[in-house]
């Protein structure tokens, strides 16, 4: 076949194909070419124009690129909901490629933390470490991505030289250290200042506790300050330091100074062990909360060690250890329950959800409330009315013998006092507190799990009457009473106050007799409760001090109701801050000098003190008739001497009270800190008519030995139980509104406002 000439059709086709395959040459030019008719492979069209030389003009179509055509974008109709949803998910999904892998991050960790100027020995040391730990490919990848690993705030500059593509490992290492890390060799830096060495130090378990305590704050500060790497081996009690010689010496000096600040003292268990057995389960929790190291010395002593020179952590540890003993000081309890309807057997112990509102001693366990299972279909149905009070209660044979109805139960627990107790100042008060009665959930007992409903009420009470139970005042339904009408400075728009309501902010402090000052007689003295109102400037008024004579509680368990009720009778004697001459005449009270010393050693101003704390001790004169009777173990005590009390708890309370018909309904927000928790208490206080004030702390108390079976007390019990209807009605109404809101949003808004109006009217 002869070679194609310039004017042949084959040559023209070859040139067109050459333009198509080469993207550098433009394809937008129109390919008009002249060809010879004699050498054409196909006859020309009949109507083609002819030139003077007898040749024809052939027009070829534009060439097509040899690439696959892109698919057309799908047309999405606005009515195609499924396609729009898929496209929305694709658009809203954020994808970002990880710029650093594990190897590059490990290389970055080898970078010096301090200045870029290093000694020659340190440069060689780091060079050898990188060369032994990573291969050429890893180092090259890190070099290429090094600008992404530059710390924020560091200056960026152009590389000193261009690294070749196939550079050896030595050049890559030097490029990383000099170019990317900007390291410079200086002759002025000594070898002991920056050459990294390893050193192991043997430490004790107590020293390790303080080093890793508070999330390792001390070790983090030392690591950042000395540019060191510290490893702690708890099993071997070993501390490994990786730093320069100068930094290691600095850390050793810091460690020796830290250990010199440790103070230790013993916690004597001799007096406590006479009454209760001390359990070590609470020691790890107390050690973490107070950052103190607690260890047992022998059977009767503990050793507490702390770093605080002001003894704040030491005092907190002693206080929490004393609270963890749970010594029962003049308190009695009983249990009554309401039987479920006939034929109802689906009941179980349901886990509680407000465990953080409990005191710290109960948070590390699982608690639950026993209640009757309610099917989901009954949520929107009508609630059966509560039975009369006499029909609700059912007696059981509990810890205190065979008990009858609630009034008889309180009389049985309270006992009788001397005839002249009222003349000496003993006062009684009744309270009804709403909450959930909680029992500890034993996961080994299959019948008590919430997944199975095999336990009846009588069976549960028989098995759990010897177990510890709690009253949790935070439960579902409590928002019906927890509206906050108190005006506070931290709220921009305070909630409106309730009509006829009185508010108060105060501290409540608790004390117990010291088991170290009187190890053989401390249990014969009453516990103390102190309330001090807070003024506008944050200072405290003179406190109201009460010595507990006896506290009797009857828990009414209502498995079919939204919550339970605890009825409490408290017999107390008010004490005051007095002069020494007045104390000698009355035989009770706190001296003014002692109160001034207590306030000087405390920090109780909520506006000036960032952290509140109290003095650990307080000396009080207790009336001789309130001291318990002597026993062979507890001999007689000396009269006329002040008794040393130890501080056990502090609570900041904000209370709203409504008084009507001789009863006071209080809603109190209690903030007890890390150990006390935060909760809301709703109480109904029985205030006999006439009352001295609307403040339940200053009400005229009932005289002792007053029978509680009168009509006033029965009416008080009925009012307390009627509060359950508000809780249950609020829950049912909320469920109904939730169902209606899915149908009609406007009806839901109107119904919710109407319900709130009715609820405020009832309160």
**How far is it, in rounded angstroms, from Cα 622 to Cα 636?**
15
Q: Above 80 in pLDDT, residue 178? A: yes
Note the pLDDT of residue 264. Answer: 92
Note the pLDDT of residue 190. Answer: 82
Instruction: Quickly state the pLDDT bin for 753 (edges 50, 70, 90).
Output: very low
Contacts with 420 (C-beta within 8 Å, 6 or more apart), sequence order: none
Greater confidence (75 vs 471) lies with 471
Instruction: Quickly state the pLDDT bin for 34 (edges 50, 70, 90).
Output: very low
**How far is it, in rounded angstroms, from Cα 471 to Cα 637?**
36
* Beta strand segments in 558-608, E: 564-575, 577-578, 590-591
Q: Measuring CA to CA, which residue among 724, 754, 731, 716 is closest to residue 385? A: 724
Note the pLDDT of residue 239. Answer: 92
Note the pLDDT of residue 180. Answer: 85
Give the angle 545-549-554 at the CA atoms, nearest 5°: 115
Per-residue DSSP letters for 528-576? EEEEEEB-TTS-B---EEEEEEEEEEEEEE-TTSSSEEEEEEEEEEEE-
528-533 vs 301-306, strand pairing mode = unpaired
Instruction: Quickly state the pLDDT bin for 55 (edges 50, 70, 90).
Output: low
Note the pLDDT of residue 763. Answer: 28
Q: Are 299 and 307 in contact (CB under 8 A)?
A: no
Model confidence over 449-500: pLDDT tens digits? 555 555 677 777 777 777 788 999 888 766 555 554 444 444 444 445 566 7
Mean pLDDT of the chain: 74
Q: Measuring CA to CA, which residue among 285, 278, 319 is closest to residue 301? A: 278
DSSP class of 752: H
Q: Measuring CA to CA, which residue among 557, 593, 568, 597 is closest to residue 708? A: 568
Q: Are 360 and 677 in contact (CB under 8 A)?
A: yes
pTM summary value: 0.70
Q: Provide Rg for the chain, Cα atoms.
A: 42
Note the pLDDT of residue 445. Answer: 53
Percent of the chain with pLDDT over 70: 64
And the tokens for 153? 């705030």
Q: Are 145 and 107 in contact (CB under 8 A)?
A: no
Note the pLDDT of residue 748. Answer: 34
Greater confidence (608 vs 163) lies with 608
Contacts with 508 (C-beta within 8 Å, 6 or more apart), sequence order: 529, 530, 531, 650, 651, 653
Average pLDDT over residues 83-111: 71
Note the pLDDT of residue 207. Answer: 92
CB atoms within 10 A of CB 694: 18
Note the pLDDT of residue 299. Answer: 86
**How far is it, in rounded angstroms, from Cα 479 to Cα 727?**
8
Q: Above 80 in pLDDT, residue 446? A: no
Contacts with 94 (C-beta within 8 Å, 6 or more apart), sequence order: none
Q: Above 60 in pLDDT, residue 194? A: yes
Average pLDDT over residues 292-318: 89
End-to-end CA distance of the chain: 112
Note the pLDDT of residue 279. Answer: 84
Model confidence over 528-571: pLDDT tens digits? 999 999 988 888 888 899 999 889 888 888 888 888 899 998 88
Note the pLDDT of residue 498. Answer: 61
* Alpha carbon separation from 187 to 253, 398, 557 (Å, rounded): 28, 86, 82
Q: What domains are defined for the chain? A: 9-59 (no CATH), 109-192 (no CATH), 196-260 (3.30.1370.10), 263-327 (3.30.1370.10), 334-630+637-745 (no CATH)
* Alpha carbon separation from 309 to 243, 261, 313, 384 (Å, rounded): 30, 7, 9, 62
Instruction: Quickly state the pLDDT bin for 76 (edges 50, 70, 90).
Output: low
Secondary structure class of 248 (helix, strand, coil): helix
Q: Is the peptide bond before 600 cis (omega within 30 degrees of 0)?
A: no
Q: Are 242 and 198 in contact (CB under 8 A)?
A: yes
**How far is it, in rounded angstroms, from Cα 514 to Cα 644?**
6
Q: Measuring CA to CA, which residue among 552, 543, 544 is closest to residue 571? A: 552
Average pLDDT over residues 425-435: 87
Q: Is 151 exposed, middle or buried (0-12, 13-18, 19+ CB in 10 A)?
A: exposed
Greater confidence (243 vs 715) lies with 243
Bridge partners of residue 428, in order along the sequence: 571, 702
Contacts with 160 (C-beta within 8 Å, 6 or more apart), sequence order: 178, 179
Average pLDDT over residues 44-63: 54
Average pLDDT over residues 101-123: 81
**How far is it, in rounded angstroms, from Cα 621 to Cα 634?**
19
155-164, 321-330, 416-425: least confident range? 155-164
Q: Is 466 exposed, middle or buried (0-12, 13-18, 19+ CB in 10 A)?
A: exposed
Note the pLDDT of residue 119. Answer: 87
Model confidence over 479-492: pLDDT tens digits? 555 554 444 444 44
Model confidence over 701-739: pLDDT tens digits? 445 445 554 567 777 887 887 777 666 555 545 444 444
Model confidence over 606-644: pLDDT tens digits? 888 888 889 999 999 998 888 887 766 666 666 668 999
And the tokens for 709? 């079976």
Q: Above 50 in pLDDT, residue 15? A: no
**How far is it, in rounded angstroms, from Cα 756 to Cα 536?**
32
Q: How far is CA 409 from the centre of its chain?
A: 39
Name the H helices within 227-297: 245-260, 270-273, 283-290
Instruction: Quickly state the pLDDT bin for 254 (edges 50, 70, 90).
Output: very high
Average pLDDT over residues 269-273: 88
* Alpha carbon separation from 643 to 72, 273, 573 (Å, rounded): 93, 21, 16
Q: Above 60 in pLDDT, residue 375? A: no
Percent of the chain with pLDDT over 90: 20
Q: Above 50 in pLDDT, residue 742? A: no
């Amino acid at each position: 076949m002869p070679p194609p000439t310039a004017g042949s059709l084959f040559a023209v086709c070859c040139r067109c194909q050459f333009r198509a395959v080469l993207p550098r040459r433009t394809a937008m030019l129109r390919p008009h070419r002249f060809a010879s008719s004699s050498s054409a492979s196909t006859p020309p069209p009949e109507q083609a124009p002819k030139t003077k030389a007898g040749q024809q003009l052939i027009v070829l179509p534009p060439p097509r690129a040899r690439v696959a055509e892109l698919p057309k974008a799908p047309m999405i109709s606005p009515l195609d909901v499924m396609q729009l949803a898929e496209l929305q998910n694709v658009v809203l999904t954020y994808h970002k490629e990880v710029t650093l892998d594990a190897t590059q991050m490990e290389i970055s960790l080898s970078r010096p933390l301090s200045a870029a100027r290093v000694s020659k020995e340190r440069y060689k040391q780091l060079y050898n470490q990188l060369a032994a730990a990573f291969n050429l490919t890893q180092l090259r990848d890190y070099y290429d991505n090094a600008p992404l690993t530059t710390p924020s705030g560091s200056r960026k500059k152009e590389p000193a030289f261009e690294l070749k593509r196939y550079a050896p490992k030595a050049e890559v290492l030097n490029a990383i250290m000099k170019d990317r890390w900007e390291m410079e060799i200086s002759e002025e830096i000594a070898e002991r200042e920056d050459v990294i060495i390893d050193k192991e130090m043997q430490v004790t378990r107590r020293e390790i506790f303080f080093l890793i305590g508070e999330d390792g704050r001390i070790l983090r500060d030392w690591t950042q300050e000395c540019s060191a790497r510290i490893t702690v081996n708890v099993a071997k009690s070993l501390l490994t330091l990786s730093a320069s010689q100068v930094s290691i010496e600095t850390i050793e000096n810091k460690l020796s100074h830290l250990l010199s600040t440790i103070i230790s003292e013993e916690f004597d268990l001799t007096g406590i062990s006479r009454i209760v057995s001390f359990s070590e389960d609470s020691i790890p929790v107390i050690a973490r909360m107070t950052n103190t190291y607690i260890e047992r010395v022998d059977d009767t002593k503990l050793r507490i060690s702390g770093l605080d020179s002001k003894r704040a952590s030491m005092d907190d540890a002693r206080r929490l250890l004393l609270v963890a003993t749970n010594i029962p000081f003049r308190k009695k309890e009983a249990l009554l329950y309401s039987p479920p309807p006939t034929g109802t057997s689906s009941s179980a112990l349901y886990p509680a959800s407000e465990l953080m509102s409990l005191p710290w001693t109960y948070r590390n366990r699982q608690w639950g409330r026993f209640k009757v299972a309610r099917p989901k279909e009954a949520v929107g149905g009508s609630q059966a009315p509560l039975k009369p009070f006499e029909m609700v209660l059912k007696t059981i044979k509990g810890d205190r013998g065979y008990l009858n109805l609630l009034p008889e139960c309180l009389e049985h627990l309270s006992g009788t006092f001397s005839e002249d107790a009222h003349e000496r100042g003993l006062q009684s008060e009744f309270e009804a507190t709403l909450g959930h009665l909680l029992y500890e959930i034993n996961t080994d007992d299959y019948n008590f799990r919430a997944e199975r409903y095999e336990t009846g009420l009588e069976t549960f009470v028989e098995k759990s009457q010897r177990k510890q139970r709690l009253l949790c005042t935070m439960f579902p339904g409590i928002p019906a009473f927890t509206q906050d009408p108190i005006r506070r400075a931290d709220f921009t728009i305070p909630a409106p106050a309730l009509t006829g309501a009185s508010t108060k902010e105060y501290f409540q402090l608790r004390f117990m007799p010291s088991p170290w000052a009187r190890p053989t007689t401390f249990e014969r003295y009453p516990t103390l409760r102190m309330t001090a109102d807070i003024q506008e400037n944050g200072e405290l008024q003179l406190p109201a001090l009460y010595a507990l004579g006896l506290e009797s509680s009857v828990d009414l368990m209502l498995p079919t109701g939204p919550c339970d009720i605890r009825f409490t009778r408290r017999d107390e004697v008010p004490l005051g801050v007095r002069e020494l001459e007045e104390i000698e005449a009355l035989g009770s009270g706190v001296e003014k000098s002692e109160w001034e010393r207590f306030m000087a050693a405390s920090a109780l101003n909520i506006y000036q003190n960032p952290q509140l704390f109290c003095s650990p001790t307080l000396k009080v004169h207790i009336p001789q008739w309130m001291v318990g009777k002597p026993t062979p173990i507890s001999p007689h005590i000396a009269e006329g001497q002040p008794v040393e009390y130890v501080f056990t708890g502090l609570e900041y309370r904000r209370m709203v009270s409504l008084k009507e018909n001789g009863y006071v309904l209080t809603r109190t927000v209690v903030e007890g800190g890390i150990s006390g928790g935060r909760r809301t208490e709703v109480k109904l206080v029985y205030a006999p008519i006439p009352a001295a004030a609307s403040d339940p702390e200053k009400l005229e108390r009932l005289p002792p030995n007053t029978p509680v079976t009168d009509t006033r007390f029965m009416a008080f019990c009925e009012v307390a139980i009627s509060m359950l209807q508000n809780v249950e009605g609020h829950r049912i109404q909320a469920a109904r509104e939730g169902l209606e809101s899915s149908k009609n949003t406007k009806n839901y808004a109107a119904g919710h406002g109407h319900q709130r109006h009715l609820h405020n009217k009832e309160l």
